[in-house]
């Protein structure tokens, strides 16, 4: 368990016991006496390069996870958001086609933050992948018959088990043991940053409340922009003109 998680748990305990003190249920808040042990260091997330992302997209073609992979990479949605996505929140015929990221598999069904609730226009590859995915799901539904659970989920296995993204990563020639599903989102940020998309726009697309959150969480994926000042001054004071 990471130090951050331990700190959050201690904070919850302190608040809970404080409420009990206010109601005269306990005499002292013993949680304040606890020191936070050093937790395990979390493994830093990585992002895919453009070549690796293309390999993953190619490897996933023909697989049940293809649409899931495409949306993860091209929309940057969280895995918890895609797992809760329903067809009622997908508009394949609009101009532009869009997906409403309004729910997650968190307790209560809410997204991580208020800013996380967003509607995203979909790239062409997402639309094509979802249309094919819907056709395949229709076939699976008919084959399942009365065993099909009509919950409206976009991404659901034939037997209702959780989908495994690592099979696609392995097929793409990547070490699946060193990768996690959330790295699709990190790759989305990295690829946009490499393409010159402003940080403010990236922050809105991934549903962060401000750019500082994006910079903190994805600092290793964002392309440094510190050369802009020097380049501008070189242009302004071009002594060779």
Can you give the pLDDT at residue 127? 93
What predicted TM-score, i.e. pTM, was given to this entire model? 0.59
Give the least confident one: 10-19, 82-91, 96-105, 161-170: 161-170
Can you give the pLDDT at residue 135? 93
Instruction: Give the C-alpha separation, 198 to 194, whole Å.
Output: 10
Q: Give the model's confidence band at 1: pLDDT under 50 very low, under 70 low, under 90 confident, else very high.
A: low
Active site residues: 78, 112, 185, 208, 218
Can you give the pLDDT at residue 64? 83
In the chain, CATH 1.10.443.10 covers 50-217
Can you give the pLDDT at residue 38? 64
* Per CATH, domain 50-217 is 1.10.443.10: yes
Can you give the pLDDT at residue 225? 45
Can you give the pLDDT at residue 226? 44
């Amino acid at each position: 368990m990471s130090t951050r998680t331990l700190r959050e748990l201690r904070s919850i305990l302190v608040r809970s016991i404080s409420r009990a003190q206010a109601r005269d249920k306990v005499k002292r808040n013993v949680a304040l006496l606890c020191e936070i042990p050093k937790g395990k260091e979390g493994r830093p997330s990585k992002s895919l390069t453009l070549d690796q992302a293309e390999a993953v997209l190619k490897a996933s073609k023909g697989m049940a996870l293809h649409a899931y992979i495409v949306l993860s990479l091209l929309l940057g949605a969280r895995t918890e958001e895609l797992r809760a996505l329903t067809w009622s929140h997908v508009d394949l015929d609009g101009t532009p086609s869009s997906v409403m990221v309004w729910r997650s598999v968190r307790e209560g069904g809410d997204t991580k933050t208020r800013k996380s609730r967003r509607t995203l226009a979909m790239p062409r590859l997402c639309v094509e992948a979802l249309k094919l995915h819907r056709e395949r799901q229709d076939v699976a539904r008919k084959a399942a018959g009365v065993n099909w659970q009509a919950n409206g989920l976009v991404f659901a296995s034939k037997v209702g088990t959780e989908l495994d993204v690592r099979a696609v990563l392995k097929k793409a020639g990547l070490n699946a043991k060193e990768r996690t599903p959330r790295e699709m989102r990190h790759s989305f940020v990295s690829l946009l940053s490499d393409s010159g998309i402003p940080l403010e726009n990236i922050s809105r697309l991934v549903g962060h409340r401000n750019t500082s959150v994006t910079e903190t969480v994805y600092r290793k994926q964002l392309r440094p922009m510190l050369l802009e000042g020097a380049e501008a001054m070189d242009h302004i004071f071009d002594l060779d003109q």
